Amino acid sequence: MGLKNREEKIEERKERREKRGSRKRQFECSRELLPFVLYFLFFITSCGKKTSTFNDSQVFRYNEHSNITSLDPAFAKDQRNIWAVNQLYNGLVELDDSLQVQPSIAKNWTISEDGKTYQFHLRNDVLFHKHELFGKDSTRNVIAKDFEYSFNRLLDKNVASPGGWVLQNVANFKAKSDSVFTINLKQPFPPFLGLLAMKYCSVVPKEAVDYFGNEFRANPIGTGPFHFKLWVENTKLVLRKNPLFFEKDENGNQLPYLEAVAVTFLPDKQSEFLQFIQGNIDFMKSLDASYKDDILNTDGTLKEKYVSKINMKTGAYLNTEYLGIYLDGEEEHPTKSKLIRQAINFGFDREKMIKFLRNGIGSPATSGFIPKGLPSFNNQQGYSYKPEEAKKLVAQYKEETGDENPQIAITTNSNYLDLCEFIQRELQKIGIVTKVDVIPPSTLRQGKANGKLPIFRASWIADYPDAENYVSLFYSKNFTPNGPNYTHFKNEFFDRLYEQSIKEINVKKRYKLYQKMDSIIIAEAPIVPLYYDEVIRFTQKNVSGLGINPIDLLNLKRVQKN
């Protein structure tokens, strides 16, 4: 259930990009309001009758291309919501930029020898954001009962949170005292701590949810470094510094450093780019085809004219872009043969594709399906560009089957047409007649789920830092429509390794199992890995403390503007 939601999430992101044109007119008013949002907004009344005195250098400004749909962590299902929620809430644990699990509201924890019982010991200095509903003190401490309530809410069918799958392996959970929270699993699942770092598992106060009901989505109360101030949907979101935040830096200074965060909602990436270059926003999170050649060289470095004006960071992203091959299709289809699947993998130059079509952003997927950025990635040998080997495989296929004119069709959406046309031209050279079909993202998603597409372009983004995210796509019990195995790959040895891996507590042994499974995927070729994506972040020169991580989570508690 959870894996299927993640696939839908990925495709929904891409579908929103295709709707930008029609949404542009709808948000025309938002663009006109931008100067007021940026320069007037933060001089409004801040708390009670006090007037804010901070200046523009203490406000961090960024843009979202699509409207945030909810500030309730139970609905933090895609990046636009996750980024905002991450500023407002905390969970038991969190991930650092190296994807290591770190304490958050839980100061420490123990795991039983059988890997099934987790006992968390909570800090006693974590307070909810101030609000009159808490009574005369306007706040209160977080206790273990709050996590018990929050987890039950996540599983409540009436709430209908898309994040309930995170707890699907949980047998029960209980507050043993105000400071001790215990979780029992149905069976060992070593990636579980990483799952708990997801924003779905944030703590919320029962008083606030009871008081606001469905409107809690627009009246968030959490424990995070910033508290809610203002949200005008499709126009602006304002968060203010939480003076009660429990974290301090290494020198004992209160976090966060910033006084406020301002989010605008310009749907057009060209407009966002212009606002960034003019210095009206502090951070830009992505690279659009419309301006990539203006800002980047083909090797992925900044053009000379921008080097002195802005900063750029890139890093591994837990996203593998690939072509999936449906293996339960008609017997006469060429891709039923492993020879053709391997020929496709050998038949095009991934390095050339990344350099000229993506300006060097990303790295060729030549080491299997598990992407760079995961600890279990071991750079094993996958498929590189070997056109002569590809031709031999095609010739062998023709000789064995009598099919002198193998033909395939790759189905994609318009966002990846250039990549698929590049592959099309390359495969023609090795003797495979290739057609590219372009369909809407929703139709592509449905076609994959129903097994109607022999070859389809797809993405897989990890939600937690463990390769189980990736190998689960090839476990035979996960066949669509009940799971994410869109290729209908089935291999008994692979299945045994997978079942062994999800119970293996020893980290090094589990990583070796993942790598063995990845090597089976390389050999059997049910997919064609294209590239491992990268996170790219642009900031103004005066911004510091903004890290970068393989799950592309925005963390602003240590950001400063100098």
Q: What is the pLDDT of residue 8?
A: 54
Q: Identify whether the C-beta of residue 205 lies closer than 8 Å to the C-beta of residue 223.
A: no
Is 149 or 57 the better-scoring residue by pLDDT? 149
Q: How far apart are CA 203 and CA 211, in angstroms?
A: 16
Among the listed residues 393, 410, 412, the one whose alpha carbon sits nearest the alpha carbon of residue 337: 393
**pLDDT per position as a tens digit, 205-249:** 999 999 999 999 999 999 999 999 999 999 999 999 999 999 999
Q: What is the mean pLDDT of residues 299-309?
A: 92
The larger pLDDT score, comparing residue 371 to residue 35, is at: 371
pLDDT band at 507 (very low <50, low <70, confident <90, very high): confident
How far is Cα 276 from Cα 452, in angstroms, rounded to an integer? 43
In this prediction, residue 15 carries a pLDDT of 52
Tell me the C-alpha to C-alpha distance, in Å, between residue 508 and each of 155, 344, 524: 33, 33, 25
**What integer pLDDT is reported at residue 86 of this predicted model?**
98
Q: Are 459 and 9 in contact (CB under 8 A)?
A: no
Average pLDDT of span 462-469: 90
Computed over every residue of the chain, the mean pLDDT equals 90
Tell me if residue 296 falls in helix, strand or coil: strand
Res 544: pLDDT:
96
Confidence of residue 350 (pLDDT cuts 50, 70, 90): very high
Structure tokens at 62: 């960024």
pLDDT bucket at 18, cuts 50 / 70 / 90: very low
Segment (H or E) for 506:
none
What is the chain's length? Answer: 562
Give the model's pLDDT for residue 299. 86
Whole-prediction pTM value? 0.83
Mean pLDDT of all residues in 450-460: 94
Number of Cβ within a 10 Å radius of residue 309: 11
Question: Tens of pLDDT along 255-281?
Answer: 999 999 999 999 888 899 999 999 999
CA distance 457 to 529: 10
Cα 24 to Cα 552: distance, rounded to the nearest angstrom:
26
Cis peptide before 334 (omega within 30 of 0): no
- Token pair, residue 377, equals 């990635």
| pLDDT at residue 78 tops 80 | yes
- pLDDT band per the 50, 70, 90 thresholds, residue 13: low
Contact at 8 Å (CB) between 485 and 478? yes
Q: What is the pLDDT of residues 104-149, one digit of tens each?
A: 999 999 999 999 999 999 999 999 999 999 988 899 999 999 999 9
pLDDT in tens, 412-450: 999 899 999 999 999 999 999 999 999 999 899 999 988
**What whole-number distance in Å separates Cα of residue 64 and Cα of residue 234?**
9
Query: Could you give the angle at the alpha carbon of 549 between the alpha carbons of 544 and 551, nearest 5°?
Result: 135
Q: What are the angstrom distances between the C-alpha of 475 and each of 7, 22, 81, 499, 511?
A: 16, 40, 30, 9, 17
Lowest mean pLDDT of 35-49, 102-116, 331-345, name the range. Answer: 35-49
- Dihedral of CA atoms 497, 501, 504, 506 in degrees, nearest 10, equals 100
Alpha-carbon distance of 287 to 295, in angstroms, equals: 9
Q: What DSSP assignment string belongs to 43-84?
A: GSB-STT-B----GGGEEEEE-SS------GGG--SHHHHHH
Hey, what are 526's tokens?
Answer: 């049910």
